[in-house]
Structure 1
Amino acid sequence: MHRDSTAARMSTVFRTHIDPILGHLPMVQVRPSHLRAWVKNRSQVLAPSTLAVAYSCLTAMFNSAVIDRAIGVSPCLGVRLPGVEKHHHHIPTPDQVHTVAETLPARYSAIAYLAAGCGLRGGEITGLEVDAIDFLRREVDVRQQLVCIAGRKPFLGPPKTKTSVRTVELPEVAAFALETHIKRYSPIEIEIDDETDPRNPRRRLAKLIFLSSTLNPIHRSDWAHIWAPARDAASIPKGTGLHSFRHYFATLLIHNGASVKTVQMALGHATPTITLNTYVGEWPEPHEKTRRIVDDALSRVPGMCPDKATRR
């Protein structure tokens, strides 16, 4: 079963890109040739990465039909998609992080430091409650996120993956920004739907740390308008979102010697493979790391002079 946000996205994909072209065919009549024609048609209007997402909807649909024995074999087998170019993440500089924090309206400024200093996703930040912050231990408990889908008000849901439920360290710069924010905008209780436990949805009072100027949860569509001026002021490329600050956090850990497992756990990725695939180019090459380790250990051996070291 998909999460609500994923289900909504897949429903939009089906209505927009699948049903108008293939909807007239019963599933048992769909052939690989139909899907190859569909791929050719949609590749005229969709980027390869977006086409891959739409095609995954088709694949899941036909795989389910096979499991239910509605069809014998999935027609998706053997259908090739256009290659997806490797996506290069924009990694902000420290100056860009500070500029965004300074340019954002004051009530949102600390969001920049939670993303860049703790690696939190946008929904994890806007879904934070006061009791999730432990200033004494300098830790943040990530146990929910704010979910925004079409047709309903924002609500609290479980984090993206099981490993996204985590405790992250709170660096001083983020702690100071949070303390300043809480003193200036004392959190108030608001009513919100809580679906962190899908079996027990409820409506409750929550003290969200970040609210809009109208004291409502921050909707993703509203955030886009808040973010844009700060992004432009920091000379961050258009189309780059707050998620780039999460990339900054990850690469900061990597460049300072963090292991794949450490980065995975800090980011809440489901598997180390996702972490490696996302940041594969950021880790130093093994031979470069080996040389550095050996040189650091042996470059100052007593009695070894430069001319002897280079004699051979």
Structure 2
Amino acid sequence: MASVEKRVRNGKQTWLARWRDPDGRQRKRSFARKVDADRFLAKVNAEMLRGEYVDPSDPTTFREYAERWRVSQVHRPTTQAHVETNLRRHVYPHFGDRRLNSVRPSEIQSWVTRLTATLSPATVQVLHGIVASIYKSAIRDRHVNASPCEGTKLPKKQPREVVPLRTEIVHSIAETIPERYHALVVLAAGTGMRQGECFGLTLDRIDFMRGTVRVDRQLVHLARKEPVLAPPKTIASHRTIPLPTVVVTALVEHVRRYPITHPEGLIFTDDDGKPLRRTAFSREIWRPTLAAVPDAPAGTGMHDLRHYYASLLIRHGESVKTVQSRLGHATAAETLDTYAHLWPDSAETTRDAVDQVLGRTSTERTDREDVTLRSPSATSRP
């Protein structure tokens, strides 16, 4: 039962509020005025009735709770590593040692503003989303009764229009890159597979007779660990892609020239037969190749070969659903958000459709009027 007691120590008068929390533990808090103690107890009682009570003296720090939350999440290995890195680099230096229930919305807003000065809007949104998820969990666990992330104003992502590579540049990249990786470029440009999906392709996933490739794994890289095969990015990323003849030919020639020696059957490896690492491949193979390709746009990456593949499908009249399926997008909206500007403008088609109907009707009416005006009966008097 809650109560307020008057206490006098060394001539100083205070008021002690006592109550039992939902777990039955005795709690107390001292106030300088009785009215403040009464108000506090009224608030505590109301929160317990609503099931929103949290211990105001909870000493749990943000870091302590965030680490418990992090290890309990059902994340892919790459996502686990990504979350751990972001918390360690960008969140813990600001809030790690703070009591979880002491962080205020204004402090979250200030933190976001500081991050925006050095990081992209997309990265800031990801970081804020991680912290918001932690507080959402903390509310369920009754460590806090409200999230300081509610109402935060986040920087907006600037729309970036995809500009596909020209075919001659794709050809130049494929011909300039070391021969060992020629088929890798052809595969990426001819199937739209992601870099990790290409690096993780094994011989048993290719059906040369039917001309298809099954995508159900990717090569992932974790800090201070060897690359491993893991499920692809999303459920929608599991897909079967038709292989054009040019891709089949390149793969057959690659396997002939570079026999598979990796235990997992990886098709693409380095000179030592080891899995390709993103950073090493970019530094030692991809960037030197681009430097030798005239007119290659600055910042071109392997992902641009995926955009090139999508642009070919769109140019040859494939539907949004087909492009979505081939690329392994989770929704058609994701496909449209990225490539809508590449579909042919329907303005002329709309004009032609209207002209063919309304124009014909208007012409027919004019012809009838002309016939009526030329008819003798139209000019004769009764």
2:98 to 25, 36, 39: 25
2:196 to 123, 132, 145: 123
1:213 aligned residue: 271
Unaligned runs of 5+ in 1: 191-205
Q: TM-score, normalised by structure 1?
A: 0.85
Are 1:232 and 2:291 matched, yes or no?
yes
2:131 aligned residue: 58
Are 1:162 and 2:235 matched, yes or no?
yes
Deviation at 1:289, TM superposition (A): 4.3
Measured at CA, do residues 9 and 289 of structure 1 come closer, stay the same or move farther in structure 2, by a change above 3 Å? farther
CA contact 2:105–2:149 (8 Å) conserved in 1: yes
What do the CA deviations read for 1:3-60 (whole angstroms, capped 9, x no partner)?
Answer: 1112211211111111111223222111110111101211222122222222222122
Distance 1:293 1:250 in 2: 28
Unaligned runs of 5+ in 2: 1-73, 368-382
Q: Which structure has the bigger radius of gyration?
A: 2
1:40 to 97, 113, 120: 113
1:184 aligned residue: 257
Q: How does 1:1-312 map to 2 (within 5 A)?
A: 1-190=74-263, 206-225=264-283, 226-234=285-293, 235-291=295-351
Deviation at 1:111, TM superposition (A): 1.0
Query: 1:59 is aligned with what amino acid?
Result: A
Deviation at 1:119, TM superposition (A): 0.6
For the residue of structure 2 that corresponds to 1:65, the secondary structure is helix
Deviation at 1:132, TM superposition (A): 1.1
Q: CA RMSD in A?
A: 2.1
Distance 1:115 1:290 in 2: 36
What do the CA deviations read for 1:229-259 (whole angstroms, capped 9, x no partner)?
Answer: 2222333333321001001111111122211
For the residue of structure 1 that corresponds to 2:267, the secondary structure is coil
Query: 2:289 is aligned with what amino acid?
Result: A
Distance 2:354 2:179 in 1: 48
CA contact 2:212–2:243 (8 Å) conserved in 1: yes
Query: 1:233 is aligned with what amino acid?
Result: A
CA contact 1:90–1:240 (8 Å) conserved in 2: no
What do the CA deviations read for 1:284-307 (whole angstroms, capped 9, x no partner)?
Answer: 344444446788x99xx9xx9xxx
Query: 1:261 is aligned with what amino acid?
Result: K
Distance 1:78 1:237 in 2: 40
Deviates more, 1:234-243 or 1:120-129: 234-243
Q: TM-score, normalised by structure 2?
A: 0.70
Distance 1:189 1:47 in 2: 38
Measured at CA, do residues 245 and 292 of structure 1 come closer, stay the same or move farther in structure 2, by a change above 3 Å? farther
Distance 2:340 2:278 in 1: 29
Query: 1:232 is aligned with what amino acid?
Result: A
Distance 1:57 1:240 in 2: 30
Query: 2:229 is aligned with what amino acid?
Result: L
Deviation at 1:61, TM superposition (A): 1.6
Distance 1:7 1:292 in 2: 54
Query: 1:276 is aligned with what amino acid?
Result: L
Measured at CA, do residues 49 and 101 of structure 1 come closer, stay the same or move farther in structure 2, by a change above 3 Å? same
CA contact 2:190–2:243 (8 Å) conserved in 1: yes
Measured at CA, do residues 31 and 286 of structure 1 come closer, stay the same or move farther in structure 2, by a change above 3 Å? farther
CA contact 1:127–1:156 (8 Å) conserved in 2: yes
Deviation at 1:85, TM superposition (A): 0.7
CA contact 2:262–2:274 (8 Å) conserved in 1: no
How many residues align? The count is 285
Query: 2:76 is aligned with what amino acid?
Result: R
For the residue of structure 2 that corresponds to 1:96, the secondary structure is helix
Measured at CA, do residues 32 and 245 of structure 1 come closer, stay the same or move farther in structure 2, by a change above 3 Å? same
Measured at CA, do residues 17 and 272 of structure 1 come closer, stay the same or move farther in structure 2, by a change above 3 Å? same
Deviation at 1:154, TM superposition (A): 0.2
For the residue of structure 2 that corresponds to 1:167, the secondary structure is strand
For the residue of structure 1 that corresponds to 2:214, the secondary structure is strand
Query: 1:268 is aligned with what amino acid?
Result: G
CA contact 1:162–1:270 (8 Å) conserved in 2: yes
